[in-house]
Structure 1
Amino acid sequence: MPRTAVAAVGVAALLALTACHKTEEKTEDIRPVRVQQVRASDTDLLSEFAGDVRARVESRLGFRVGGKIVARLVDAGAVVKKGQALMRLDPQDLQLAKAQAQAGLRAAETSRDFAKAELKRYQELKAQNFVSQTILDSKDAAYKAAQANVEAAQAAFRGQANQAGYATLVSDVDGVVTAVNADVGQVVAPGTPVVQVAKSGDKEIVIGVPEDKVDALRGVSDVRVRLWAHPDQVAQGKVREVSPAADPVTRTYPFKVTIPASMADAKLGMTAYVAFASKMPEAEIHVPLSAMFYERGASSVWVVENGAVRLVKVQVGGVAGNDMVLKGGLKPGQVIVTAGVNQLKPGQKVTILGGEKAASAPAAASATASASGVAK
């Protein structure tokens, strides 16, 4: 082999070896984290309970008379007006009863008219001394009895006429149909609830409170309500009614809490939360337990600044449900890491899952929810 060919093969081998040992570029380690913005609050959460939104006034409607349902005119969820027809019964039996009562009234009126004519004739005979006073008195009594029969028949006819009108069930308020308990073809007795209508207007949240907390929460004035669908919208509520007896199924005492007019998004059946709170002498900072980082007996949290994390030592003041109460080390407005704290190191760059705004917004709501059902 010529020397030039050997040299070419050597150069090619050297280049291949160099390419194999070429170092790859290092990628920067950026960790995704969840964060929360620190807030200070002077409110101590006593307890929080889940319930549902209900109408303050809800009627269970039924027919005044019994019969067979022949028409159902509404479904659950329908918006109805006062006087609107909801269901109808078969009117045949009621119309027959009305016709029978009307026939009885006519017969009674005919008997009365005959008794009246008899009384008038005997009064004329008595004036001519053709009959005795005893006979005249008997005719007068017969007329009065016939008149009484007419009045009774009139009352019966009016009753049957009204019952014929009761074959149509109408709503007595403006509202929403919340339940339909009967259907076409079903025979119902008088007064059997067949339709439930929630009156439009005031709504409330109904919760169940354990018996050991009823007396403590009965007098709390700071009552806050929020919807599960809108956790960031917290409004002031008011306990309207406390049941004197426990629910036989749950063994809890129902509390009815009025919803303010500002909660226009509250719909019947929505899940809602009621929190009972009290004021504290000074504001406190609460952070989730998952945000705490322990090293060499010291408590710290990771603070996010300019896209990187910094370890900050904090002073723990106590525990509140699933949160830690901090007495120092953090300031309101700072953003802290709430998940994956053991995988970080000082100065490490991070990316916020969902964006900083989305992660920090539910901070207040999560602090409230974390103490759910925990009594101080």
Structure 2
Amino acid sequence: MKPTHLLLLAGLVALAACSKPEPAAAPVRAVRTLTVTPQTAGGVLEYAGEVRARTESRLGFRVAGKIVRREADLGDSVRAGQVLAQLDPQDLRLGQEAAKAALSAAQVNHDQAAADFKRFKELRDQGFISSAELERRETALKAAQAQLEQARAQSSVQGNQAAYAALVADAKGVVTAIEAEPGMVVAAGTPVLRLAHDGPRDVVFAVPEDKVLLVRQLAGVPGRFSVKLWGDGGATLPATIREISAAADPVTRTFLVKADVGTAAVKLGQTATVRVELPQTAGVTKLPLTALKEEQGKTIVWLVDRQTMTVRAQPVQVAGADGNDAVISSGLQPGQVVVTAGVHVLNPGQQVKFYAEPARAAAASVASPVTVK
């Protein structure tokens, strides 16, 4: 063989060695599918809540002073009028005594002015004094009368102030918090105890911003709300929405909602689940959550073309969930075939085949006749 032929042959071998191998063909994936059919979907929303008293008061003294004793502890049941705490009453009693002394002085002054006016009126009737002098005595009597009324009112105020040294329960209930202890000097109005009144109970829960309008719409529909207690064997109680916050919480950005459970036998602070029954919606499609895929900020599903047995991506609109299924409100037509498993390994235009259960495939192979040549 000539040297030129050898060089040409060597070059061909080198080129063949450097060329890239042909890419392997994409495998034909076996996929589970579901045929789209119009359905009706409802659903239930669930929120964690807490049982609270409808009326809960933060009780405090109406006057300032030093707390000398507290006669109620956390969790105590109290009756209306029961003394819960006591201030040092010494200064208040001194003020009351001073007001009583001022009232006595005003009463004596008034009596003296009244007696003087009576005598001067008799003298005026006899012509011994002028009318101007009588008018001065009458003015002095009116001033003494005003001073007496002022002193009487001041004495009543000081009497009330002395009574305010005792903090009493204004209703029957349970002490749910202690906010001040004996020995503390508190200003007027400083909370000392928190009292949950006996009576109706509410289940308080928080609703996100995107669901508060729905809750408002369903609030007036009977039977849409129920409460399931975590304790007491999971008892379920009917509930009605009593109050929906007008503004979102600045931290959680949720709206506070209160569900009324009436006088049901529930415990304060008990945890509960509030269930919201959603209205039935016709003309939607339910798909397993495994059929959905998030791609570029959109939710898509894979549709199978029966003629070419390839898949393509289809954007859909998710309206919510019904149990373990996603509710699709738009993007699909009846009769379309949707891939329900393995969506993360598919690509547009990929060849697929319908998945057959192993048991069914074995049964089909046994049932089919075998020809022996």
Alignment TM-score, normalising by the size of structure 2: 0.62
Q: Which secondary structure state, in structure 1, belongs to the residue aligned with residue 210 of structure 2?
A: coil
* Equivalent residue, structure 2, for 1:57: 55
Q: In structure 2, do the counterparts of structure 1 residues 269 and 141 end up closer, same or farther at CA, with 3 Å as the change threshold?
A: same
Q: Which residue of 2 aligns with 1:203?
A: 201
Q: CA deviation at 1:176?
A: 0.6
Which residue of the partner structure matches residue 323 of structure 1?
Answer: 324
2: distance between equivalents of 1:43 and 1:173? 48
Q: How far apart are residue 279 of structure 1 and its match?
A: 5.4
The alignment-based identity, stated in percent, is 46
2:278 alignment partner, SS class: strand
* Larger gyration radius, structure 1 or structure 2: 2
In 2, the alpha carbon distance for the partners of 1:107 and 1:279 equals 77
Aligned mate of 1:234, from 228, 233, 236: 236
Say which SS state the counterpart of residue 68 (structure 2) adopts.
Answer: strand
- Displacement of 1:187 after TM fit? 1.6
The 5 A counterparts of 1:278-297 are 278=278, 280=280
Provide the residue aligned with 2:160 in structure 1: 162
1:275 aligns with 2:304: no
Matches of 1:129 and 1:58, distance apart in 2: 72
From 148, 173, 176, the counterpart of 1:175: 173
Is 1:235–1:260's contact at 8 Å kept on the other side of the alignment?
no
- Report the secondary structure of 1:219's partner residue: helix
Q: Deviations over 1:123-156 (max 9, x none)?
A: 2322332221111111111111111111110111
Provide the C-alpha distance between the structure 2 equivalents of 1:151 and 1:260, rounded to a whole number of angstroms. 49
Q: Residue in 1 aligned with 2:186?
A: 188
Letter in 2 for 1:64: R
Secondary structure of the structure 2 residue equivalent to 1:114 = helix
Please report how far the alpha carbon of residue 224 of structure 1 lies from its aligned counterpart in structure 2 after TM superposition: 2.0
Q: What letter is aligned with 1:75?
A: D
Length-normalised TM-score, structure 1: 0.62
Partner Cα distance (2:61, 2:192) in 1:
8
CA–CA separation in structure 2 for the residues paired with 1:230 and 1:44: 29
Q: Structure 1 residues 106 and 256 mapped into 2: Cα distance closer, same or farther (>3 Å)?
A: same
Structure 1 stretches of 4+ with a deviation exceeding 6 A read none
**2:322 and 2:76 mapped to 1: Cα distance?**
42
Partner of 1:117: 115
Shift of 1:231: 6.2
Shift of 1:112: 1.4
Q: Which residue of 2 aligns with 1:297?
A: none
Quote how far apart the aligned CAs of 1:52 are: 0.8
**Distance 1:218-1:119 versus aligned 2 partners, 3 A rule:** same
The 3-state SS of whatever aligns with 1:88 is strand
SS state of the match for residue 103, structure 2?
A: helix
| Count of aligned positions | 252
What secondary structure is seen at the aligned counterpart in 2 of 1:239?
Answer: strand
- Name the counterpart of 1:153: 151
Question: Partners of 1:238 and 1:140 in 2: how far apart?
Answer: 68
Q: Which residue of the partner structure matches residue 246 of structure 2?
A: 244
For structure 1, which runs of at least 5 residues remain unmatched after alignment? Answer: 1-41, 290-318, 326-345, 347-376
Unaligned runs of 5+ in 2: 1-39, 290-319, 327-358, 360-373
Task: Confirm whether residue 83 of structure 1 aligns to residue 84 of structure 2.
Answer: no
* RMSD, aligned CA: 2.8
